[in-house]
Structure 1
Amino acid sequence: MSYPVPAEVAGQARAAGPLESPWLWLTFAALAVACVVGTILVRRRKGARRCGIALAVVFVLLATTAGANAGVGYVRSGTDLVLLLQRGGGPLRDLGKLFEDEGSTPGTRQIRLGGAGGPAVERMVIADPGNGVPGGRNFVLLPPGYTDAANANRRYPVVYLVHGNPGGPEDWLTAGDAPGTLQRFSRLRALPPMIVVSVDLTAGHPGRDWEGLDVPGGPKLESYLAGSVVPAIDRRYRTVADRGHRALGGMSGGAFAALNIGLHRLDAFGALLLAMPYDVPDNRRRLSEDPALLAANTPRDYLSRMSFPQPVAAILTAGSEAPGDVTTARSIADALRVRGQQAAVRTEEGFGHTWRTARASLPYLLAFAAGVFARPRG
């Protein structure tokens, strides 16, 4: 069972944000051309010529950045920029913190996003030095009404989402637009309320491609997620703390992490939500010194042989413009079905291996998870 996704929710998830518009990079390109023309016209005035060249270079860089962003969909709006500031250091991080308040849950900070009717977003730092994680910034999206007195005894299922590589936990709030998607679902009353957690698997190094692995001599990110993040969320929030009401998902490298960790931890997660997944780790060099460890973290190898003491349901999505992703998604789904597990595949038309695909997929991932959560428990 999967809940239907309203056309409004699907359409908004596919729509480009204001900073993704092709008109933006075209405007910058036109300004660069204008600066070049102006520089030629004033070529005998040395100071003006230098200024014109400098401006032309700036506009070319802006046009290039805006053009890339229009295709990848990493920054949609000014709000996205504010959240991404928090990933920086020094004054940039301090500027981002101006948009935070004390969270409703002790030990958290609430991020001001969107208007009324959307999820409350709390930033929760979960440190696990024993597993090599100095202080993961995990974002918790609470459904509307969570803090109302009428819901004081209500508990909620949880979806955990993992960012891609390189990247960070802010990405599901910005490029993935999880708050906007949840707000639209809530306004239309089209999906039962749930808690969504954007997990930090960077181990303090957003540029590293960890893939959610327990890395020999490095951070133990699978152990961190399953052993530290999930219990911390269950302690601090009113969750339905069982595998049947817990889903794990991600995009690209985060989808690999979700697939690998989810198959290792069947006792913790009952659903897998995989956008643009792959089943062979890119980090083979980190594991290659131990062939057994490499095999144990390569789903393409072990999935066909593993047993399923608890069932798992998976949805896999890919962009039609990335045929390799489509093939891999279908292959993983087939392997799961052979082992008697439920697996669905969805193709997002017109998109490639980008955050725009993950954003367009998110409503269907959440709807699938809600269907799993609604199943009667034996």
Structure 2
Amino acid sequence: MTPHAAASDPVLPPDITAHARDLGPLESPLIWLTAAGAAVAVLAVTIALAHHRRARRWGTAGAVTLFLVAAVTAVNGYVGYVRTPDDLRRLFERGSGAADAVGMLLDDGIDEPDAAPDSAAAPHPGPASSSDHIDVLSLPDPAHAVPSGENYVILPPGYTDPANAARRYPVVYLIHGYPYGGPLDWLTSGAAPDTLRSLETEHVIAPMITVSVDLTAGTPSKDWEGVDVPGGPQLETYLAKTVVPAVDHRYRTIPDRRHRALGGMSGGGFAALNTGLHHLDEFATLVIALPYDDLNNSIGILDGHAGAIATNTPRRYLPTMAFPQPIAVMLAVGTGAPTDVATARRIADALHRRGQEAVVHSEHGFNHTWHTARATLPYLLAFADEHFRPTNIPAS
């Protein structure tokens, strides 16, 4: 098989890439440095007043609390999971009891996703004009052991304008990480709405529908990796055969493989690679951040089933895989994570040897975190856009 010509890494406006790399207000190192400094100060005062029992007790509690705040915010600053107060509010609302109550107190009542219509045949209603309009498409699928599925559908500006009533759009599906990930992550930590808006405003990409898929099977703490689990949730089938048809039915998509891309980050990146390679008839483009090509520590979910393990290990099957239809793949990594870099190059090389298009995009100094996923998302979406439209036709 003749190797495919090397794909190109999209070149983007500097303001878009700089914005994608920016830290959110809750990621600033000033937060944990301030908390750590305050903890040291309180501890020093506590030591000086050690002969006062009450001062010692309260001072010790205060210092420990501040050190914990410093540790948590330092980790968050590194990982990039909670960027803004709104991200924090959404995180609290995932919990129950006191955590959910805190989330409600932080809720400003705006920018909430709207529930999609219950009837599969009903058209999307939406407002008179659409800018960052987001639907919640609830798709439980008990037949595939998926008890719930809150999929977030980001509609492009102008989707509901009467002038665009006949216009159809390509679709990018994005999968969250594992474990403890969820479909809201691409809207918060991944900043997908902001990235789409900036790319579309500067005419880097044509308008597209983006779907953040729920592959948690109702248990976000489980490291499902988006596979069809023997005796458990059939998440790959749920995505390809339940979510995709539902989105095509309820929204004005271009319902063919060429106008459909699948992506994700970390565990979601594995799910995108594995599912995309299994469903070449559904997806022509894969856009993956922080990729890997085997289950590693997550292999336990397959409970030793040799056939399932082989089927869900791209590192094994990709080198000899047949491609009745071509696929284009972009793999995005941070140079601060050498394992990610080596994995991305291994996947790309395997694809090239099978005659497929693949490119590796690297962000200097970034690691295996949401910072990298967020910083590389503009490149991933631009890559998808290039493959949605005919060659040499610019976005408009």
TM-score, normalised via structure 2 length:
0.89
Residue pair 1:255, 1:277 contacting (<8 A) in 2 also: yes
Matched, 1:72 2:79: yes
More off after superposition, 307-316 vs 280-289: 280-289
Aligned with 1:326 (options 323, 327, 341): 341
Matched, 1:146 2:159: yes
Instruction: Trace 1:192-207 onto structure 2 (pairs within 5 A).
Output: 192-207=206-221
1:99 is displaced (CA, Å) by 4.7
Residue pair 2:9, 2:359 contacting (<8 A) in 1 also: no
Aligned with 2:316 (options 282, 301, 304): 301
Mapped to 2, the partners of 1:249 and 1:73 lie a distance apart of 19
Identity %: 53
More off after superposition, 221-230 vs 31-40: 31-40
User: Paired residue for 2:284?
Assistant: 270
Mark the runs of 5 or more structure 2 residues left unpaired by the alignment: 1-7, 392-396
Summarize the Cα distance change of 1:101–1:16 in structure 2 as closer, same or farther, 3 Å threshold: closer
Aligned with 1:48 (options 45, 50, 55): 55
Mapped to 1, the partners of 2:162 and 2:55 lie a distance apart of 65
Matched, 1:27 2:34: yes
Deviations 1:202-254 (A, max 9, x none): 11111110000100111110011011111111111111111100000011111
More off after superposition, 154-163 vs 286-295: 286-295
Residue pair 2:130, 2:161 contacting (<8 A) in 1 also: no
Mapped to 2, the partners of 1:206 and 1:310 lie a distance apart of 33
Mapped to 1, the partners of 2:303 and 2:211 lie a distance apart of 32
Matched, 1:372 2:387: yes
Aligned with 1:188 (options 198, 202, 206): 202
Deviations 1:312-367 (A, max 9, x none): 10001111011111011011011111111100111110111111111111000000
Residue pair 1:18, 1:77 contacting (<8 A) in 2 also: yes
Mapped to 1, the partners of 2:263 and 2:94 lie a distance apart of 22
Matched, 1:103 2:114: yes
Matched, 1:177 2:191: yes
Summarize the Cα distance change of 1:179–1:244 in structure 2 as closer, same or farther, 3 Å threshold: same
Matched, 1:163 2:170: no
Mapped to 1, the partners of 2:234 and 2:96 lie a distance apart of 24
Residue pair 2:116, 2:137 contacting (<8 A) in 1 also: no
Residue pair 1:120, 1:142 contacting (<8 A) in 2 also: yes
Mapped to 2, the partners of 1:126 and 1:323 lie a distance apart of 38
Instruction: Trace 1:227-238 onto structure 2 (pairs within 5 A).
Output: 227-238=241-252
Secondary structure of the corresponding residue to residue 241 of structure 1: coil
Summarize the Cα distance change of 1:119–1:236 in structure 2 as closer, same or farther, 3 Å threshold: same
Mapped to 2, the partners of 1:262 and 1:118 lie a distance apart of 30
Mark the runs of 5 or more structure 1 residues left unpaired by the alignment: 111-115
More off after superposition, 324-333 vs 48-57: 48-57
Summarize the Cα distance change of 1:86–1:146 in structure 2 as closer, same or farther, 3 Å threshold: farther
Counterpart AA for 1:150: A
Deviations 1:26-56 (A, max 9, x none): 0000111121122223333322322211111
1:105 is displaced (CA, Å) by 4.2
Secondary structure of the corresponding residue to residue 134 of structure 1: coil
1:87 is displaced (CA, Å) by 2.1
Residue pair 1:84, 1:170 contacting (<8 A) in 2 also: no
Matched, 1:210 2:224: yes
1:83 is displaced (CA, Å) by 2.2
Secondary structure of the corresponding residue to residue 331 of structure 2: strand
1:3 is displaced (CA, Å) by 5.3
User: Paired residue for 2:237?
Assistant: 223
Mapped to 1, the partners of 2:334 and 2:44 lie a distance apart of 41
Secondary structure of the corresponding residue to residue 307 of structure 2: helix
Deviations 1:48-104 (A, max 9, x none): 322211111111000000111111111111111122233223464574575565738
Residue pair 2:31, 2:73 contacting (<8 A) in 1 also: yes
Residue pair 1:2, 1:370 contacting (<8 A) in 2 also: no
More off after superposition, 212-221 vs 81-90: 81-90
Residue pair 2:149, 2:217 contacting (<8 A) in 1 also: yes
Residue pair 2:116, 2:138 contacting (<8 A) in 1 also: no
User: Paired residue for 1:113?
Assistant: none
1:195 is displaced (CA, Å) by 0.7
More off after superposition, 46-55 vs 188-197: 46-55
Counterpart AA for 1:74: Y
Counterpart AA for 1:211: E
Matched, 1:10 2:17: yes
Residues paired across the two proteins, number = 370
Secondary structure of the corresponding residue to residue 272 of structure 1: strand
User: Paired residue for 2:4?
Assistant: none
More off after superposition, 77-86 vs 20-29: 77-86
Secondary structure of the corresponding residue to residue 43 of structure 1: coil
Mapped to 1, the partners of 2:111 and 2:26 lie a distance apart of 23
Residue pair 2:81, 2:189 contacting (<8 A) in 1 also: yes
Summarize the Cα distance change of 1:56–1:67 in structure 2 as closer, same or farther, 3 Å threshold: same
Mapped to 1, the partners of 2:203 and 2:382 lie a distance apart of 12
Structure 1 residue ranges, 4+ long, deviating more than 6 angstroms after superposition: none
Counterpart AA for 1:332: I
